Structure 1
Amino acid sequence: MSGKMRYVLAGFAVGIVVMAGLAAVASACNVLVVMSYDDTYPWEQEVRDGIESVLNGRCELTYSYMDTNRYSDVGPQKAEEAYNLYQQLQPDGVIAVDDNAQSMFVVPYLKDKTQTPVMFCGVNAEPDVYGYPASNVSGMLERLHIFETVLFAQQLVPNLKTFAIVQKNSSTAEMLVQQIEQEQETYPAKLIGHYRPTALAEALKIAAELKTQADVLFYETFDKISDENGQLLTDAEVVPMIAAAFGKPLIGNNAYHIRDGVLCAVIKLGEEQGSVAAQKLLQVLGGTPVSDIPIERNKKGKRIINVTALRRFGLKPKPIALQGAELIETGK
């Protein structure tokens, strides 16, 4: 047998051993997933789909939901419950989703305090806000495709020159301020403001006032904003109200907002966040040091157009603007 052939066979054998070792680790692993929000929130469902696309059949998954989008004051208690669950499970790895899971759970309980690898995703803040990367923490940042969405909207809405960003006031909204400050000078239309109301009545008043100032509104999220009766509303309920008050197209960043009536978006993908975090965790469980796992930011985007909104506003874009975009109707 030639020396070259021996090297090939030896390399093949090593590869089999490494793959078998990874499969053995993965098949036996237990992973705790801590979500910042509730299990009905569409974003969390997208992230969960991404995690499960990688880990189903390889790891046993346990989920803990902190529910901070509905009840912000319960966050510390829910984080403590998640830590108690962590102690009970003694998982091989943890995936922590969105910012509140970092500030309330990972940083106080796990960062640099345990050997358990933690992969985060859906994080809007800069990583150094949480002291990341840490000895046992890495993951994936989340950034909105604001530039890309406005540029896309200009292909659909003639003479789009100004826009405003609106969303429910929250810690996540405050974190978006930094992204906006970093990018604002590059936006293809003038940003006239970033508005963060705390209640529905205030949001509707702002939308009505912006009708004479902005050509479109970038709708981020108003999920679980309260109405005059203290009822917590979903985005599916709020989008039509904001659209009616503004009277012009809304643009956004999530697929479920497009289904609710927003005109278009270059969406960020929760599935990308979840699958990348899961892949990173598998690398660590297979023997890669956490220090060798770089922090990334989301790269993928998908263009979506609501054709119901197109018809409502009498918009007739050039065929090239529709190429490669997913076309959906409100409520479907």
Structure 2
Amino acid sequence: MFRFNYIILLLPILLFSTSNKKCVYINSYHDGFVWSDTIAKEIKYILKDSCDVIQFNMDTKRKKDEASIKSSALQAKKLIDKTNPDVVITSDDNAAKYLIKPYYKDSSIPFVFTGVNWTADKYGFPYSNVTGMIEIIPIRALYEMAVDLSIGRKATFIGDNTITDKKDLSYFIKYSKKYGIDLSYNLVDDINEWKNSYLEAQLNSDFIILGHNSAIKNWNDKKVKDFLLKNSKKLVLATYEWMMPFSMIGLIIKAEEQGQWAANTAKGILNGYAIKNISITTNKTWNNFINLKLVDSAKIKLPRKILIKSKKYDMD
């Protein structure tokens, strides 16, 4: 079986007129959410000469109740059925759970997913018409860094009350046992809960891990930055780039990697590659970032090796 992963980037590409090829991108979230906006940008750029890309936003970060998500998935299905695309690309778990699994198992339409966190087992992937990229965040590297810095082994995870952070948290808990980390956690719904959790973690933990903030009500970037500059004394880490204004160190996975892989995979399918021969893969890389303004405000001294290898993030 031909293993179709990053090698596709090296293959010659046949160009198709945009008038006779159609691609649909189903975004689990909304315009303005940095992660899926970046994926969409890569998809549209890479496929601009291969197909017309039609995007549908399920908006399930802001409309989280089951009925709304199912209604949005049904709207996405209607669009797909009406469009009859040559390939569909999806991003993140809710599109996989509420759209692909109930409606398109083993259908004639090829689906390429991205952003399914950690495992696709609960969706039964792969199907004969489904492949994709599993999203894995660098938890082990984060814990190894914290242990290497000798800052203690008590940690708190603070995130929003969404399927993504629940999945991520389950793996933080799993790996905490391996690394001897005493992990507490709070999944919150609004900014006051988030601030209270942060202040409590400042008192009771050696370091803090931030999950998502996109579903936290009344979040205000400037007010949160001001709050952090006044109240941060412990090391704060994150794995998503949009959380870097509020974190000191980031081991940041790349939405670009997932968008590029999905688009090039879709291009391969348009060129005639059989999707059943395209293996599910995982993201492979991340960037190291450091927010010096927040580090300095907390009077934390970091080793030179971290300062050298990290990209500097401007909190302002």
Q: TM-score range by the shorter chain?
A: 0.7 to 0.9
Q: Counterpart in 2 of 1:91?
A: 85
Equivalences, count = 304
SS in 2 for 1:316: coil
Among 215, 222, 239, the residue aligned to 1:224:
215
Q: Counterpart in 1 of 2:101?
A: 107
**1:65 and 2:65 equivalent?**
no
Q: Where in structure 2 are the equivalents of 1:147-296 lying within 5 Å? A: 147-152=140-145, 159-187=151-179, 190-226=181-217, 232-233=218-219, 238=224, 241=227, 247-258=233-244, 260-296=245-281
Aligned residue type for 1:301: W
Among 29, 37, 40, the residue aligned to 2:21:
29
CA change 1:60–1:234 in 2 (3 A) is farther
TM-score, normalised on structure 1?
A: 0.82
* Structure 2 stretches lacking a partner, 5+ long: 1-10
Among 113, 125, 128, the residue aligned to 1:132:
125
Task: Give, in whole Å, the separation in 1 of the partners of 2:305 and 2:27.
Answer: 39
Q: Which runs of 4+ in 1 moved over 6 A?
A: none
Q: How much has 1:236 moved relative to structure 2? A: 6.4
Aligned residue type for 1:94: V
Q: Counterpart in 1 of 2:112?
A: 119
Deviations 1:224-283 (A, max 9, x none): 312xxxxx436665565467566433210122221x231011101111111111222222
Among 263, 284, 306, the residue aligned to 1:299:
284
Q: How much has 1:192 moved relative to structure 2? A: 1.7
Task: Give, in whole Å, the separation in 1 of the partners of 2:263 and 2:219.
Answer: 31
CA change 1:257–1:236 in 2 (3 A) is farther
Q: Counterpart in 2 of 1:13?
A: none
Deviations 1:68-94 (A, max 9, x none): 101113211111111111122111100
Aligned residue type for 1:248: K
CA change 1:186–1:281 in 2 (3 A) is farther
* Structure 1 stretches lacking a partner, 5+ long: 1-17, 227-231
Task: Give, in whole Å, the separation in 1 of the partners of 2:199 and 2:257.
Answer: 35
Task: Give, in whole Å, the separation in 2 of the partners of 1:104 and 1:309.
Answer: 39
- Asked if structure 1 preserves the Cα contact closer than 8 Å seen for 2:207 and 2:234, the reply is yes
Q: Percent identity?
A: 24
Among 32, 36, 45, the residue aligned to 1:44:
36
Larger Rg: 1
Aligned residue type for 1:54: I
Task: Give, in whole Å, the separation in 2 of the partners of 1:237 and 1:43.
Answer: 22
SS in 1 for 2:204: coil
Deviations 1:98-117 (A, max 9, x none): 001111111122222x2111
TM-score, normalised on structure 2?
A: 0.86
Q: How much has 1:56 moved relative to structure 2? A: 2.6
Q: How much has 1:41 moved relative to structure 2? A: 0.7
SS in 1 for 2:198: helix
Task: Give, in whole Å, the separation in 2 of the partners of 1:262 and 1:46.
Answer: 21
Q: How much has 1:160 moved relative to structure 2? A: 4.2
Deviations 1:278-330 (A, max 9, x none): 22222222222222111111111100111111221223333322223211221
Task: Give, in whole Å, the separation in 1 of the partners of 2:209 and 2:229.
Answer: 11
- Asked if structure 1 preserves the Cα contact closer than 8 Å seen for 2:229 and 2:298, the reply is no
- Asked if structure 2 preserves the Cα contact closer than 8 Å seen for 1:164 and 1:193, the reply is yes
Task: Give, in whole Å, the separation in 1 of the partners of 2:17 and 2:177.
Answer: 48
CA change 1:33–1:158 in 2 (3 A) is same
Q: How much has 1:141 moved relative to structure 2? A: 0.8
CA change 1:236–1:117 in 2 (3 A) is farther
Superposition RMSD on alpha carbons, in Å?
2.5
- Asked if structure 2 preserves the Cα contact closer than 8 Å seen for 1:211 and 1:247, the reply is yes
Task: Give, in whole Å, the separation in 2 of the partners of 1:314 and 1:300.
Answer: 30
Among 274, 290, 298, the residue aligned to 1:313:
298
- Asked if structure 1 preserves the Cα contact closer than 8 Å seen for 2:39 and 2:256, the reply is yes
- Asked if structure 1 preserves the Cα contact closer than 8 Å seen for 2:16 and 2:49, the reply is no
Task: Give, in whole Å, the separation in 2 of the partners of 1:236 and 1:176.
Answer: 26
Aligned residue type for 1:168: D
